[in-house]
Structure 1
Amino acid sequence: MISPRLQTTAYILSPDRRSVLLMRRDKYPQDIHFGKYMGLGGHVEAGEDPVTCIRREIAEESGLTAGDLTLRGTVMWTNFANTDALCFMFRVDTFTGTHHGGNEEGTLEWVPLAEVRDKPMWDSDHEWLPMIFDDDQRQFHGVMPYDGYDMLSWSYQRI
């Protein structure tokens, strides 16, 4: 039996829906995500539900206030760096405010959707990231076992 940590990740679309706000993890070389581009998000705290968590994380990490959220799916990572996590994946279609440029983890950058695949990120992100932005209304729910930092497989269902 696994007892995963609950996490959230959000991908914020620009008003013209051509770019996504990503964080380039560039502050601490010892960060396991150093040099990689990622969505905004973090761990669900005690007493929080995933929606409350992602709204808080977006505000903390960007200064933006999320408007319309869509839960696109979930990913269960098992044995990633000896940790199990269940991540709720959101797309943010509207927001208010202006992002502050970054935080202690990294720098924020608007990346054209057509260039996301060219950015350094975990190879495994390319398996599920297209489903964040596609037009399929069904959610995806997948599992991604790891051996340390190496993805072993990927399987998912859409409902």
Structure 2
Amino acid sequence: MIAPVLQTAVFVLSPARDEVLLIHRNKCTDDLHYGKFLSLGGHVEPDEDVLTCARREVFEESGLVVADLALRGTVMWTGFGPKKRDYLCFMFRADSFTGIPHGGNEEGTLEWVPLNDLTTRPMWDSDHLWLPMIFDNTPAPFHGVMPYHNDKMLSWSFQRG
């Protein structure tokens, strides 16, 4: 049996729907994600549901208030990182927001990245396997499992619909 850490990941689309707001984790050299571009999001707190967490994390990390959150899928990472932890991440796309994003936080800087440039940004290699499903037009969410050994993906499987 596993007892995963619950997380959210939110991909905020620009009003023209051609860019996504990402955080470039470029401030803490001892960060496991140092140098990589990631979605906004984080850990679910004991007193909140995943939607509340997603909205809170986006506001904390960017200053934006998101609406129209669409659950695009889930990914279960097992054995990830030096502590070999299990994570269940709820992946959302935010199609609208209010506010103006600030520059970032103690983890990194915010950047609007063109959707057609996502593959050129430093990310976890495995992100490219599920990232297209965040932005496609298929209504059914995907649900995947991605076992890791430290920082190396071992396999990937998913179902949709």
Structure 1 residues 4-33: Cα deviation after superposition (integer angstroms, max 9, x where no partner): 000000000000000000000001000000
Structure 1 residues 22-76: Cα deviation after superposition (integer angstroms, max 9, x where no partner): 0000010000000000000000001110000000000000000001110000000
Please name the residue that 2:62 is paired with.
62
> What is the root-mean-square deviation of aligned Cα atoms in Å?
0.4
Task: Pick from 120, 140, 145 the counterpart of residue 118 of structure 1.
Answer: 120
**Separation in 2, partners of 1:60, 1:47:** 17
Is the counterpart of residue 136 in structure 1 residue 138 in structure 2?
yes
1:1-159 aligned within 5 A: 1-81=1-81, 82-159=84-161
- Provide the TM-score with structure 1 as the length reference: 0.99
Structure 1 residues 87-115: Cα deviation after superposition (integer angstroms, max 9, x where no partner): 00000000000000100111000000000
**Separation in 2, partners of 1:113, 1:26:** 20
**Separation in 1, partners of 2:150, 2:30:** 16
**How many pairs align?**
159
Secondary structure of 2:73 counterpart? strand
Aligned structure 1 segments of 4 or more residues deviating by more than 3 angstroms: none
Structure 1 residues 102-148: Cα deviation after superposition (integer angstroms, max 9, x where no partner): 00111000000000111000001001000000011110000000011
- Provide the TM-score with structure 2 as the length reference: 0.98
Q: Which runs of 5+ in 1 are unaligned?
A: none
**Separation in 1, partners of 2:134, 2:128:** 11
The share of aligned pairs that are identical, in percent, is 64
Deviation at 1:79, TM superposition (A): 0.1
